[in-house]
Structure 1
């Protein structure tokens, strides 16, 4: 997917109303106060010795950074927000709101902007070493905890 398509997908997520309950539609997971869009997904790494995985990780991080540069031109410099502590807090029993708890399960950090009353988060996800990378965008009116 091209950067232009990623921007279009983010703008679409920003324009959608938030649903009253959680569900999946059209490449996005949505719920009360949020959408998490899957902008790109790699292949898995079950048969990989680690070499291809590293190259794909570098590629996804470069795509995130290129997209972030365009979003920075729109909204200014992002905050870099680590999600590791949120996951640690959730594992300790603290209630972390969506979309932050879902993002914290597989995204180490996000680049974060505030525009038109909503947060826009951009990050690279990988649930486990053998599973695909994903370039994710989240749009939410829920403040980061």
Structure 2
């Protein structure tokens, strides 16, 4: 998918209503107050020695940074928001609201903007070393905890 298509997807998500229940939509996961969409997904790494995984990680981070630069032209400089503390707090039993709870399980940090009553978060996800990388965008009305 191209950067132009990513921008269109983000604009569509910002205007799409949030569902009443959590579920899978035609573009990703949605729930009360949020949408999470995979803009791009790599291949899996079952037979990898780590070199290809590092290259793909660099590629996805570069793609995130390029998209963040374009979004920064719209909404200003992004705040880089670490999700590590949310993951730790959730593991200690604190209730972390969605979409922040699910993000903290696979995304170390997000580039974050506040625009027109919504938070827009952009991050690179990998659930485990064998699983694919994903470039994710989140549009939510739920404040980061």
TM-score (norm 1): 0.99
What's the counterpart of residue 33 of structure 2? 33
Matched residue, 1:126: 126
- 1:52-72 superposed Cα distances (whole Å, 9 cap, x missing partner): 101100000000000000000
Query: What is residue 4 of structure 1 aligned with on the other side?
Result: 4
For the aligned residue pairs, the C-alpha RMSD in angstroms reads: 0.5
Structure 1: distance between partners of 2:8 and 2:103:
21
Q: CA deviation at 1:132?
A: 0.1
* Structure 1 runs (4+) greater than 2 angstroms displaced: none
Q: Secondary structure at the match of 1:113?
A: strand
Counterpart secondary structure, 1:62: helix
Which residue is equivalent to 2:22?
A: 22
Q: CA–CA distance in 1 between the matches of 2:55 and 2:64?
A: 14
User: What is the alpha-carbon distance in structure 2 between the residues aligned to residue 26 and residue 12 of structure 1?
Assistant: 12
Unaligned runs of 5+ in 1: none
Q: Work out the CA distance in 2 between the residues paired with 1:59 and 1:5.
A: 18
Q: C-alpha distance in 2, partners of 1:59/1:27?
A: 22
Secondary structure of 1:26's match? coil
Shift of 1:100: 0.2
Q: Which runs of 5+ in 2 are unaligned?
A: none
In the aligned structure 2, how far is the partner of 1:142 from the partner of 1:40?
24
Find the residue that maps to 2:93 and give its secondary structure: coil
Aligned length, in residue pairs: 145
Name the SS of the counterpart of 2:122 in structure 1: strand
- Tell me the distance in 2 between the aligned counterparts of 1:41 and 1:71: 20
CA deviation after TM superposition for structure 1 residue 27, in Å: 2.7
Q: Secondary structure at the match of 1:6?
A: helix
